[in-house]
Structure 1
Amino acid sequence: MATKKSAPRAFDQVETWVFDLDNTLYPHHLLWQQVDDRIRAYVAEFLKVTADEAFRVQKDYYKRYGTTMRGLMTEHGVDPDHYLDFVHHIDHSPLEPNPALGDALEKLPGRKLILTNGTVAHASAVLKRLEIDRHFEDVFDIVAADLEPKPQAITYERFLKRHDVVPTKAAMFEDLSRNLEVPHTLGMTTVLVVPSGQREVFREDWELEGRGAPHVDHVTDDLAAFLEDALKA
């Protein structure tokens, strides 16, 4: 017998709004090919393997460890600083200002924070290109997480402690369902963001699953409009 999903949590108690970065605040196909290519190039050079084998390793580690970097660190002792500098050395110019999202963020009551498996430098470049950087209090990145990526529970615990966030008074916005399991368990209201362009980026089936999962309170393909509606509810 299927388990009945409980009513989705609302936003009336939310004081802290927590956002993933890539593919949440903007459609990742605008930048992802650059990052994806650089990750694969790094894996190929570091492991001295073909591009096809690098692709396989890249996706395998991403699924099993949360990030390709974590897999390379665990199994091959890669230098995380060198890896992060290399893979995020990209052109951010394809991103354009998003005034609708900026207006929606402006109206949200309370604090706004970024929780990303990327770096502060990459997040800062993205937020500036979107012209929404002024709305965010801080960026909690993979370095602040001691290189432990989402969906590891310790990452969320470190984030909540660092920024003194009460999970039952917070909302989490993410593009991967599995990254919302721990936040929901902790008491956060969860939102799965599925922007357009999902198939323009290579995404495996598991990355697109989970829209109807019990730990997903809400699903949207238009973040700005969703935030506007959330304030009216």
Structure 2
Amino acid sequence: MNKPDPTEFEHVRSWVFDLDNTLYPHDADLFSQIDVLMTTYVSEFLRLSREDARKLQKDLYRDHGTTLRGLMDLYNVDPDDFLQKVHDIDYSWLKPNPALGEAIRSLPGRKFIFTNGNRSHAEKAAAQLGILDQFEDIFDIVAAGLIPKPAKESYEAFVALHGIAGPDAVMFEDLARNLAIPKQLGMKTVLIVPQNLEETYSEVWERDLGREDEVDYVTDDLTLFLQTINSR
């Protein structure tokens, strides 16, 4: 973990946040609900055992960026049906985080959520956290033309839509590979990791080996990180 130097963020006017395991912590375990529903969807759609569906789900995630993109590319799945069903979850698992909301509110400039999930999911999660009103817009997988991060096209669509200049922006993400293009665009990059780096986080299909050059900062406490920036 490295403590931010507030002076290095004085120029930032666009603050871009991933959603899952970034704006809420990994230990909230919300994504585990989505993960189970994805396995169920793959199993039912392709008539596979849950074990085979689970393996395929992770293979698609690894090879195509998201399970949905893989299902679309290889099996012509209906993306609207998939997104609706896998996000039918219980958001009460998330605890409101007024300190995070205040830290985001105090940042100078514009704030965005940029997620591979859909807008409804992002709105419900952010509302449960009590931070939804702090964001100018949510750029979701539909707005990205169903092309997920880390594809360059997704970022290009986002910055073009909102007129964002890379050198004036910072991106917060829980996956280092999703920071490669932001780094190329001149953004500051911040990797969010779980507190104590839980063993479950290090499943092979989630590892980002050799990505150190794409990450400027690493933190396991987003709220404290933002509070430190605001202390200037």
Task: Give the TM-score normalised by the residue count of structure 2.
Answer: 0.92
Using the TM superposition, name which of 130-139 and 194-203 deviates more. 194-203
Q: Which of 12, 15, 18 matches 1:17?
A: 15
- Mapped partners of 2:65, 2:152: distance in 1: 12
Structure 1 runs (4+) greater than 4 angstroms displaced: 200-203
Using the TM superposition, name which of 21-30 and 52-61 deviates more. 21-30
Q: How does 1:4-43 map to 2 (within 5 A)?
A: 10-28=8-26, 29-43=28-42
Taking a change above 3 Å as real, the CA distance of residues 197 and 73 of structure 1, as seen in their structure-2 partners, is farther
Taking a change above 3 Å as real, the CA distance of residues 214 and 200 of structure 1, as seen in their structure-2 partners, is closer
Q: How does 1:149-168 map to 2 (within 5 A)?
A: 149-168=148-167
Taking a change above 3 Å as real, the CA distance of residues 222 and 160 of structure 1, as seen in their structure-2 partners, is same
Cα shift readout 1:146-166 (whole Å, capped 9, x = no counterpart):
000000000000000011111
- Mapped partners of 2:72, 2:211: distance in 1: 33
Residue in 2 aligned with 1:185? 184
Deviation for aligned residue 1:99: 1.2
Aligned letter for 2:101?
A: G
Q: How does 1:59-98 map to 2 (within 5 A)?
A: 59-98=58-97
**Are the aligned partners of 2:37 and 2:86 in contact in 1 as well (CA < 8 Å)?**
yes
Count of residue pairs the alignment pairs up:
225
Residue in 2 aligned with 1:107? 106
- Any unmatched runs of 5+ in structure 2? 1-6
Percent of residue pairs identical: 50
Deviation for aligned residue 1:211: 8.3
Aligned letter for 1:222?
A: D
Deviation for aligned residue 1:209: 3.4
**Are the aligned partners of 1:24 and 1:175 in contact in 2 as well (CA < 8 Å)?**
yes
Deviation for aligned residue 1:106: 1.4
Residue in 2 aligned with 1:138? 137
Deviation for aligned residue 1:33: 1.8
Deviation for aligned residue 1:195: 2.6
For the aligned residues, what is the CA RMSD?
1.8
Residue in 1 aligned with 2:4? none
Cα shift readout 1:167-192 (whole Å, capped 9, x = no counterpart):
11000000000000000011000000
Deviation for aligned residue 1:202: 5.8
**Are the aligned partners of 2:177 and 2:211 in contact in 1 as well (CA < 8 Å)?**
no
Task: Give the TM-score normalised by the residue count of structure 1.
Answer: 0.91
Taking a change above 3 Å as real, the CA distance of residues 208 and 39 of structure 1, as seen in their structure-2 partners, is same
- Mapped partners of 2:90, 2:67: distance in 1: 21
Taking a change above 3 Å as real, the CA distance of residues 42 and 202 of structure 1, as seen in their structure-2 partners, is farther
Using the TM superposition, name which of 192-201 and 12-21 deviates more. 192-201
- Mapped partners of 1:86, 1:200: distance in 2: 28
Taking a change above 3 Å as real, the CA distance of residues 218 and 117 of structure 1, as seen in their structure-2 partners, is same
Aligned residue for 2:8, secondary structure, equals coil
Deviation for aligned residue 1:196: 2.9
Larger helix share, 1 or 2? 2
